[in-house]
Chain A
Amino acid sequence: MSILSVENLNVYYGVIHAIKDISFTVEKGEIVTLIGANGAGKTTILQTITGLVPMKSGIVRFEDNIINKSIGHKLVSMGIAHVPEGRRVFANLNVLQNLMLGAYTRNSKSEIEETLKTVFKKFPRLEERKMQIAGTLSGGEQQMLAMGRALMSHPKLLLMDEPSMGLSPIYVNKIFEIIEEVHKEGISILLVEQNAKKALNIANRAYVLETGRIVKTGSSSELSNDPIIKASYLGE
């Protein structure tokens, strides 16, 4: 069963047709990646799914529900968590407050505590700095916080937007390790990345976007060996 399916999605920014009739799916338990250059529309797609950007037409299904009309804040309790581009941690709040906001829609204190423990286990750095103001963390630590915050909602589907952007190679590796770890725990992942090589390494399938259109799709290994993809996205 598809956990997420997007059919014939169209998004406009004013007169600019940013997303042109795109369809794709994420099956349960998959990592699917959208790769493409700057401005291809990757971030817009994620933002449309979680309602930050309105769509012109199309159908977005999560599990069996059509979520087109769902207001952003309701999707969290349905099981979708979005790690936004640029991390967008709450810079004036401390690490613990940020994480607890991730669990905003959950009510059981004991369950939240439980999840907090697992998040701290994945990101020991966050536990060390839990009273530190998020704005003073390094970029890599902020990315970890953004991921930890998303996991606090106990999602079924994780949307990740450029998690490696602006990070040092050590942090990039660390972040990708954690994405795999989260995936092994049964969370489906839709990953948007500019680092196509890394993304294809961990993904099951990929869609290649060019100026708002899907131009290629296939399993990660297929795409990794495709000569055109190699030349344009993998720098080989």
Chain B
Amino acid sequence: MAMRELVTGGAACAVPGSSSSSNPLGAFANALIGSSSQKERLQEIPTSTLNTSGNNLYSGAGEPLSALPGAESEHHLQHETKGSEFVSGFHAANDNRLAEVWDGIQNPQIAHFPTGREGQTIFPLGRPQPQQELNGPPQRVLSSFLHSFVNSSHGGVPFGPTQLPMLGLSEGDKRCIRDRSSIMARHFFADKSEDFINGQVNALLSSLEIDNHALARGHMSGRHSELEQYWNEPQVVMPGPHTGDGWADEFAQHRLGQGDPNAWALSFERQHGAGGWASEFEHEQTQMTSVDRMAGANIPSLAAMEQTRMLAHTLAQNSNPKFQNSKFLQFVSKMSRGELTIEDNQVKPALAASGDWANEYQQQYNAGPSSWADQYAHEEISRGPDRWANEFATERAHHGPVDEQWVNEFSKLQVNDWADEFGRQVGEGVLGDDSADNWASAYDEYLNEQAVVKQKSENSRGVYVFSDLNPYVGHPDPLREGQELFRKGLLSEAVLALEAEVLKNPENAEGWRLLGVAHAENDDDQQAIASMMRAQEADPTNLEVLLALGVSHTNELEQQAALKYLYSWLRHHPVYGKIAPPELSDSLYYADVARTFNEAAQMSPEDADVHIVLGVLYNLSREYDKAIESFQTALKLKPRDYSLWNKLGATQANSVQSADAIYAYQQALDLKPNYVRAWANMGISYANQGMYEDSIRYYVRALAMNPKADNAWQYLRISLSCASRNDMMEACDSRNLDVLQKEFPL
């Protein structure tokens, strides 16, 4: 997250009413973050040895940016194209002042001060900050203030609270600043302690008169707050918690309103009228903006039909006249005959959307009971063909009064199973707000899952999913910007810049490749694979790309695909290519591939790369001891390769050497503090040792750096439940990082 977003909010916090006032600031902040090299933890971009053709980007990295020809004008251009009235107003107001500030940006302090061992600039003590004049128009005060906050990251100088004039920030602005600065600070100070980070952020916030705690509290209680909504939007690309909430409310309301637990179908009819769920949800749908996304959710319609058919059949055998006449049964029958099939129909889009919704709801409800019925039948195998119906009748006979509905039967069977759960749910809805919540959240999750599955399946087809609002679109040189951001360790930000690059130049293999690397380091393998596949299309023989694809597919346990890419690596290698017979790639057998790689390793034992690939290959065959050996050999040759340390760690972890793994991850993080994947892996290793509290802290740290790391959210959930921290479950489900970070500081 960048300074830019701190102020503009961009996609993630476009609080209504505040955007117009803060956009110019954003542009300015963008310049700050984009051009000052305040984050001098310069990591090498893992570059392709074959791919550095005529590119002065790397050589220029250590020099002041002003030395690059045209840099100055480029930045002006950038601002003007962004139409920032602020900057042009700035020009008019005080040209000299602008030049001064500009200099501060364009000539990062690295030019004037000795550079530390790790590339970190050392500041003489008491060096005056370039922007201590905190007066003038609010926008400028704010921007220079934020600038000084960024500067404080140079040498880990604690950042003191400062008196500022009134800035007139709106609540929305404040929240944005608070959220963004928290996330950003974790990028800047990834190697510092949590206390230090909090201190920095609190100093910033208190100077801006933003009450961290008050806002946080409001944030926590108000799941419906604007911020939450906008914060969730870009991360959860579908009806997030709101849908669930709406549904849960709806559900609870109806249950509460229903006095008689016996009358499930009846009361349903009473409450909803003939239209039933479909109309209910049509109504619901008007409140939901994102429902159209649901329309695409793929539900196997044949299976749904089959299940509803079974249910209809079973229900039809119930002689209870009330039931026979119920709209519910008619609804289900229609459904089963396909009259109400809603997928792939030719109805207008709006109807289709609500139709799908109803269908899904329908399936949710019907698929449940019918598979339970199925299950139930399996349990009681002695019953005849009409098992379920008979069962029902028998049970009802036992229980005497005929008034009850079939659902109620379930609740009385004392079978301790999910069907019981469901029965109780419906039967005791009046009592059970809790259980209603559980059910609703399961449903919520089900919906989420539908959308995620859809997204995932798109991804697995190799379709790259772009972010919605990308501020780097229109940037004059997004590739260089992306490389800069990547070097600084601002992975999520680098992803945006690189997306802008590949939108501009879809055939740029290097853009796609670095995008893939950034996604992998950000712990998103699906997107990494999608990017790398595009990179491979553009440049089919790039060794880095082939290796990365091999690694990602290994991570996803897709062995055959992984083997294919690893073998291509060998085939296209300028040295080892000749020992790789091309006919082998038609029918790859692991043993042959492994043997060929071992030959390669013997040819040049000093080549770290071949040992790395060999290590990945052994991971594939789960010969972890050999894999560990290969990675250790490679590390002797390339001791500062952070991704190699992570590979070693992951291999050790998968072969239950979690303690060793943690040491390896720590090495990786020392070299690259913003390495989200290593933070998440750290959490996994603690969790696998049963140290759930510790694992939670690491997951939360990883998520603070990349809230889009879905795997980490899932693992966090597991760890929370294992650590009996159900109190934090809601924060996890609503992806409320504030609460989680407060509760689990690292």
- Tell me if chain B binds chain A: no
Query: Which residues of B are at the interface with A, using a C-beta cutoff of 8 A?
Result: none
Query: Which residues of A are at the interface with B, using a C-beta cutoff of 8 A?
Result: none
